[in-house]
Amino acid sequence: MSGTLVLVRHGQSEWNLKNLFTGWRDPGLSDKGHEEARAAGDRLKAHGIRPDIAFTSVLSRAIVTNDHILEVLGQSDLETIRDEALNERDYGDLAGLNKDDARARWGEEQVHVWRRSYDVPPPGGESLRDTGARVWPYYLHDIQPHVLRGETVLVSAHGNSLRALVMALDGLTGAQIVKMEIATGVPIVYRLNADSTVASKETLEA
């Protein structure tokens, strides 16, 4: 085995709590979200996992989640690289809207297509495939080399940017990945082989 890749979706945000489309908007974590982020750190600590480097998006909910995890691990000074390539999917015209209000405006079926299809973007936004088109190259060029050198890498990001990564790592189809939910604040630990294939995958549930 080569190295370890730890993926963590940020803790619950204020807008998750309010059932709003978030995307590239930048609300903070809810009280529960702060707790979830610290709990993620506790689980990594209990499993003896200490990152050598961390990556986050440029959105505060991912950054603060990363900060909480590193604080619990006693690694607050760890090198952390922020890049918008790891940002959440851009929801375009839906950003900031209540999901129920969006259904009332465009219809249940259309909103479902925007949320759960692989390649149909909402107006002015990104599909999951579009999100993957920026996440995958960034992973290959910036994140994966650290793992293949035997390092442990922490990535604190978002539901859809992480789904794009999981899709590639697990070899899933577009139809399969849109059915997968990634829980907030629950670390997913991949051990990679030297050829970048997945040796093992473990979800550190509470």
User: Would the pLDDT of 186 be above 80?
Assistant: yes
Please list the residues that pair with 3 across neighbouring strands.
192
List Cβ neighbours of 162 (8 Å cut-off, separation of 6 or more): 7, 9, 155, 182, 188
Model confidence pLDDT, tens digit, residues 8-22: 999 999 998 899 999
CB 86 within 8 A of CB 56: yes
User: Would the pLDDT of 79 be above 90?
Assistant: yes
pLDDT at 17: 87
Delineate the domains of the chain, giving CATH numbers in brackets.
Answer: 3-203 (3.40.50.1240)
Q: Would you put residue 85 in left (φ > 0), alpha (ψ -120 to 50) or beta?
A: alpha
pLDDT at 1: 62
pLDDT at 85: 98
Q: Which of 36, 88, 126, 146 is catalytic?
A: 88
User: Would the pLDDT of 104 be above 80?
Assistant: yes
What number is the average pLDDT over the span 4-9?
98
Is 181 a residue of the active site?
no
User: Would the pLDDT of 206 be above 80?
Assistant: no
pLDDT at 4: 98
The rounded percent of the chain whose pLDDT value lies above 90 is: 95
What number is the average pLDDT over the span 133-152?
98
Residue 73's nearest CA partner among 152, 159, 188, 163 is 152
Is 35 a residue of the active site?
no
Q: What is the mean pLDDT of the chain?
A: 96
User: Would the pLDDT of 76 be above 90?
Assistant: yes
CB 11 within 8 A of CB 36: yes
User: Would the pLDDT of 62 be above 90?
Assistant: yes
Burial of 79 (0-12, 13-18, 19+ CB in 10 A): exposed
What number is the average pLDDT over the span 193-201?
95
User: Would the pLDDT of 72 be above 70?
Assistant: yes
